[in-house]
Amino acid sequence: MAVLDMLETLAPIREKIVAGARLDFEDGVTLMESDDLLALGELADLARRVRGGGDEVFFVQNLYLNQTNVCRVKCKFCAFAKTRKQEDAYTISADELVEDAIKQHAATKFTEIHCVNGENPHVDLEFYVSVIRKLKAALPDVHLKFYTASEIHHIAQLAGISHEEVLRELKNAGLGSLPGGGAEIFADRVRQLIAPGKEHPDNWFHIHDLAHKMGIPTHCTLLYGHVETYEERIDHMVRLRDQQDATGGFLAFIPLAFHPENTVFERRGFKFTTGADDLKMIAVSRLMLDNIPNIKAYWIMMGMPMAQLALHFGANDVQGTVVREQIFQAAGATSGTEQKIPELVRFITEAGRVAVQRDTLYNELQRWAA
């Protein structure tokens, strides 16, 4: 079957890749439906090189912080969010968060703070602005990657101001970039099933479009492995690709496997995605997203061995040290919450790649020979 797949089904796609031609929606569905995992990996690695990629694999030294896990939205896929009355709910003040970040920075010298939260209805605009302002004053050389588009929309609703005004306030306070969360799957059918209380995807695009035009780079994601179809995965990627054509502000794409533990889906019998599906998503992401240079194999989601394999399926980034990640841990991730730099370097170089420590904007900080 593998030989037939390559000769009859994937060969025309390979011709497009070699010619530098863009794959269309039907090509994407064909790739998702293929069972020839090794052929997909070979095509993705070819595409990475044809489009100018080298042997570099990037990582960043970063700290994950969460100000609050209180959330107004009851997304069925989420194991992180709480109501204010639940025992393990928390909301941390700006001063407490800054004090914690300073202590962590003294120990690890991270270059990025990654922060996402629940959509807490009991705080205000100043809650969000003040922590960025105070962090920037305390750690001026640290890049602040804060707040998903969903949070930006929530802040705008709280304050009664526009998305653009929220972004301007945050940028003036020291915001560096936006993470890509909140995208989930753009298909209306799926969102009604997994996150009926969440804003329409048009808001996600509007906010990222505004951010790009304001000089704020962002990231983009896709949550897969729940109730979506292959067609809906490809539609999601094509829409991201169109946005990148328009504004060019996405730094990286991160496919995120759904983790069902401690969610309603676990009670319905949903299982973790297979390694084969994870590698397929990495490969198809690289093949379809020809204008987004960096595809991340998020080791905290995939585990280190699978992330290492993903480097041969089109990925060129493994995220980072990821100190104190909580969201995937709450949903059953078992890969730990931190990797030391020597360990990241070891697993990249053992994959035959060149380990490069970067900053958030992909400026090279240090390089290790393969």
CATH (domain of 142): 3.20.20.70
Element (H, E) at 224: strand 218-224
Instruction: Work out the pLDDT band at 321, boundaries 50, 70, 90.
Output: confident
Residue 329 pLDDT class (50, 70, 90 cuts): very low
The count of domains in the chain is 1
Identify the band that residue 334 occupies on the pLDDT scale cut at 50, 70 and 90.
Answer: very low
Q: What is the mean pLDDT of residues 224-247?
A: 96
The parent domain of residue 126 ranges over 55-368
Whether 11 maps to a domain, the answer reads: no
Q: What is the pairing mode between strands 112-115 and 143-146?
A: parallel
State mean pLDDT over 351-370: 94
- Domain-located, residue 342: yes
- Contact assessment for residue 121 and residue 152, using Cβ atoms and an 8 Å cutoff: no
247 occurs within a structural domain? yes
32 in a structural domain: no
pLDDT of residue 302: 80
Q: Is residue 229 part of a domain?
A: yes
pTM: 0.89
Domain-located, residue 243 = yes
**Does some domain include residue 92?**
yes
Distance from C-alpha of 177 to C-alpha of 113, rounded to nearest angstrom: 10
Domain assignment present for residue 104? The answer is yes
What's the rounded Cα separation, in Å, for the pair 351 and 159?
A: 48
CA distance between the termini of the chain: 35
Q: Which residues of 2-41 are buried (b: 16+ CB within 10 A; e: fewer)?
A: eeebbeeebeebeebbeeeeebeeebbbbbbebebbebbb
Tell which residue, 138, 147, 150, has the closest CA to residue 170. Answer: 147
Range list of H helices, the chain: 2-4, 11-19, 25-33, 37-50, 94-108, 125-138, 149-159, 163-173, 188-194, 201-213, 230-247, 264-267, 275-288, 299-302, 304-310, 327-330, 341-349
pLDDT digits 0-9 by tens, 48-95: 999 999 999 999 999 999 998 888 776 555 666 677 778 888 999 999
Q: Reply yes or no on whether the pLDDT at 14 is more than 60.
A: yes
pLDDT digits (tens, 9 = 90+) for 111-169: 999 999 988 889 999 999 999 999 999 999 999 999 999 999 999 999 999 999 999 99
